[in-house]
Amino acid sequence: MSKKKRRDIPQYQLPIIETHFHLDYLKEGEPEEILAAGRDIGVERFMTIAVQPDNMPTALGLAERFEDVYATLGVHPHEAASFDEAADGYIQTHAINPKIVAVGEIGLDYFYDHCDREVQKRIFKRQLQLAIDCELPVVIHTREADEDTIEILQEYAPKMPKKGVVHSFTSGLELAKIAVDLGFCLGINGIVTFNKADNVREVVAQTPLESLLLETDAPYLTPVPYRGNENAPKYLPFIAEKIAEVKEVTVEQVLQQTYQNSLNTFFS
């Protein structure tokens, strides 16, 4: 029996900013092909996110190679134990590069606990301080760590000239509200299209559109109807459509507002 044809990727003739993906981790195509497919559906700028000391130079190199690609520098909580003076120095040295738009991906992950929680908290705080010193926003990863994330953000956010995003938001409504009140956006990706993600859709419903960003987290978290494929920026319209459905607004409104939110957060 032939496989049912998946719906084509829609095009809305509006600019989009991909605020979170990992270009160096995508395997199904060369960077040029992946970026070209994203541009075809309206992606105007791409943010490739660093997660460990070893791939910070890679992320920066990709940003310098392509005019519309930007990068972040930071160490993910899974890799917090690898954060050392060299990583700290690399972020400080290269933060002034105009292609670096944030410190990230940083934060806390108590779901996998790949790293001691006290180490995670210490490195998260250090990288928040780097963002303060470098006057950059942050890209935050938090999973099953709402209480500690709230406590740390309430301590550091008032000192941050630029805030940033709590990316791939799957946390509770309390963290969502506090983060937004502190000036952060919430990053929404393909999870919002998953059948069992009612918690994420509830957060989207209760969060002002002015505080939401579009992202894919590619190559992970491919949205419906392309689950099973490697994720890529070209699938961003499906995320925008689901947000529009949840918030009962037009897709055009979602695209226009999230584009402006992205500019305000990372490019102002």
pLDDT tens digits along 45-69: 999 999 999 999 999 999 999 999 9
Cα separation of 8 and 235, whole Å?
A: 10
pLDDT value at 258 more than 60: yes
Which residue shows structure tokens 């938001």? 169
Give 66-109 pLDDT, tens digit per residue: 999 999 999 999 999 999 999 999 999 999 999 999 999 999 99
pLDDT value of residue 2 = 37
Among candidate residues 171, 77, 91, the one with its CA nearest the CA of residue 131: 91
* pLDDT digit string, tens, across residues 5-30: 789 999 999 999 999 999 999 999 99
Which pair of structure tokens corresponds to residue 182? 């502190």
The model's pLDDT over 146-201, given as tens digits with 9 standing for 90+, comes to: 999 999 999 999 999 999 999 999 999 999 999 999 999 999 999 999 999 999 99
In the sheet that holds 16-21, the strands lie side by side as 16-21, 43-48, 69-73, 100-109, 138-143, 164-166, 185-188, 212-214
What count of residues does the chain have?
268
Q: What is the pLDDT of residue 88?
A: 98
Lookup result for tokens 């990583």: 87
* DSSP conformation class of 227: B
pLDDT tens digits, 209-250: 999 999 999 999 999 999 999 999 999 999 999 999 999 999
Token pair for residue 239? 């995320």
Q: How confident is the model at residue 4 (pLDDT cuts 50, 70, 90)?
A: low
User: How many C-beta neighbours within 10 Å does residue 191 have?
Assistant: 20
The identity of residue 132, as a single letter, is I
Q: Which two tokens stand for residue 194?
A: 């998953």
CA 212 to chain centre: 11
